[in-house]
Structure 1
Amino acid sequence: MIDVLIIGSGGAGLSAALAAKEAGASVLVVGKMYPTNSQTSMAQGGMNASLGNMGEDHISLHVQDTVKSAKGLCDEDMVRHMCADAPKTIAWLEKLGVPFSRINKEALQNDRDPNASLKTIAQRQLGGASAKRACYAQDYTGLKILHTLYDTCLKEGINFLDEHFLLNLIVPEDTVKGATFLDIRTGEVKQIDAKSVILATGGYAGIYHGFTTNMYGASGDGAAAVLRAGGAVSDMEFIQFHPTALKHSCILVSESARGEGGYLLNEAGDRFIDELKPRDEVARAIFSQIQAGQHVYLDVRHLGEEKLTELLPQEVELCKLHEHVDPAHELIPIKPVAHYSMGGIDVDYALEVNGIKGCFAAGECSNAKVHGANRLGGNSLLEITAFGRFAGENAYKHSIYASSKPADETQLQKDRREIASIFSKKSSISFYSYREKLGSLFYKKVGIIRENSRLQEALEEVISMQIAQKEMGITDKNKTNNQNLIEFLEFQNTLLLAPAIISAAIARDESRGAHYKVGFEEEDEDFKKHIVLQWKRDNQEGESTL
Structure 2
Amino acid sequence: MAKVLIIGSGGAGLVSALSAREGGAEVIVASKTLPTRSQTSMAQGGMNAVLGNEDTVSDHIEDTLRSSAGLGDEKRIAFMCEKAPEAVRWCNSIGLPFSRDESGEIARRRLGGASAARACYAQDYTGLKLLHTLYDQCLKAGIEFKNGRFLLNLIVDEVTNRVLGATFLHIETGEVEEIRADAVIMATGGYGALYGKHSTNSVQATGDGLAAAVRAGAKLADMEFIQFHPTALKNSSILISESARGAGGYLLNANYERFTKELAPRDVVARAIGDEMSANGAVYLDIRHLGEDFINHELPQERKLAQIYEGIDPVHELIPIKPSAHYSMGGIEVNEACMSSVNGLFAVGECANHKIHGANRLGGNSLLELVVFGRHCGAKAVEYGDQNPTLVSDNPQLAKDTNFVRGVMYFTNQIDFYQKQEMLANIFYNNVGLVRDDMGLKAVLGAIRQMQKELPFMGPRDKSKMCNTNLVEFIEFGNKIELSEMIVVSAISRVESRGAHYRIDAPARNDRMFGAHTITWKEDGVLCADFIQ
Partner Cα distance (1:465, 1:312) in 2: 43
The reply to whether residue 86 of structure 1 matches residue 84 of structure 2 is yes
Match of 1:27 in 2: 27
State percent identity of aligned pairs. Answer: 53
Q: Deviations over 1:382-415 (max 9, x none)?
A: 0011101111000000001223312424000000
CA contact (8 A) 2:520 2:527 kept: no
CA contact (8 A) 2:412 2:456 kept: no
- SS in structure 2 opposite 1:535? strand
Partner Cα distance (2:393, 2:117) in 1: 50
Partner Cα distance (1:196, 1:305) in 2: 50
Q: Deviations over 1:442-462 (max 9, x none)?
A: 000111001111111111111
Match of 1:357 in 2: 343
- SS in structure 2 opposite 1:224? helix
The reply to whether residue 133 of structure 1 matches residue 131 of structure 2 is no
Match of 1:423 in 2: 409
Superposed displacement of residue 544, structure 1: 4.1
Superposed displacement of residue 519, structure 1: 2.3
Superposed displacement of residue 423, structure 1: 1.6
Superposed displacement of residue 466, structure 1: 1.1
Partner Cα distance (1:195, 1:242) in 2: 38
Counterparts of 1:265-344 in structure 2, within 5 Å, are: 265-344=252-331
Q: Deviations over 1:415-470 (max 9, x none)?
A: 00000011232211110000100000100011100111111111111111111112
CA contact (8 A) 1:177 1:407 kept: no
Partner Cα distance (1:372, 1:80) in 2: 14
Letter in 2 for 1:316: R
Letter in 2 for 1:252: L
Match of 2:531 in 1: none
Q: TM-score, normalised by structure 1?
A: 0.95
Q: Which runs of 5+ in 2 are unaligned?
A: 529-533
The reply to whether residue 498 of structure 1 matches residue 514 of structure 2 is no
Q: Which among 511, 519, 523 is matched to residue 509 of structure 2? A: 523
Counterparts of 1:72-471 in structure 2, within 5 Å, are: 72-105=70-103, 120-173=105-158, 174-354=161-341, 356-471=342-457
Match of 1:111 in 2: none
Letter in 1 for 2:101: I
Partner Cα distance (1:183, 1:294) in 2: 46
Question: Relative to structure 1, is the Cα distance of residues 103 and 462 closer, same or farther in structure 2, using a 3 angstrom cutoff?
Answer: same
Superposed displacement of residue 135, structure 1: 0.4
- SS in structure 1 opposite 2:115? coil
- SS in structure 1 opposite 2:446? helix
Letter in 1 for 2:180: D
Letter in 1 for 2:332: I
- SS in structure 2 opposite 1:531? strand
CA contact (8 A) 2:486 2:527 kept: no
Partner Cα distance (1:187, 1:385) in 2: 34
CA RMSD of aligned residues (A): 1.0
Partner Cα distance (2:17, 2:466) in 1: 29
- SS in structure 1 opposite 2:502? coil
Deviates more, 1:311-320 or 1:169-178: 169-178
Report the count of equivalent residues: 525
Partner Cα distance (2:292, 2:482) in 1: 47
Partner Cα distance (1:521, 1:126) in 2: 26
- SS in structure 2 opposite 1:337? strand
Partner Cα distance (1:312, 1:503) in 2: 40
- SS in structure 2 opposite 1:545? strand
CA contact (8 A) 2:348 2:374 kept: yes
CA contact (8 A) 1:193 1:407 kept: no
Q: Deviations over 1:338-383 (max 9, x none)?
A: 00000010111111012x0010000000000000000011000000
Partner Cα distance (2:390, 2:490) in 1: 39
Q: Which among 497, 512, 518 is matched to residue 498 of structure 2? A: 512
Letter in 2 for 1:162: N
Superposed displacement of residue 522, structure 1: 1.2
Partner Cα distance (2:459, 2:299) in 1: 43
Partner Cα distance (1:435, 1:301) in 2: 38
Match of 1:545 in 2: 527
Letter in 1 for 2:11: G
Q: Deviations over 1:111-147 (max 9, x none)?
A: xxxxxxxxx0000000000000000000000000000
CA contact (8 A) 1:2 1:193 kept: no
Q: Which among 60, 63, 71 is matched to residue 61 of structure 2? A: 63
Partner Cα distance (2:325, 2:502) in 1: 14
Partner Cα distance (1:358, 1:51) in 2: 35
Superposed displacement of residue 2, structure 1: 6.1
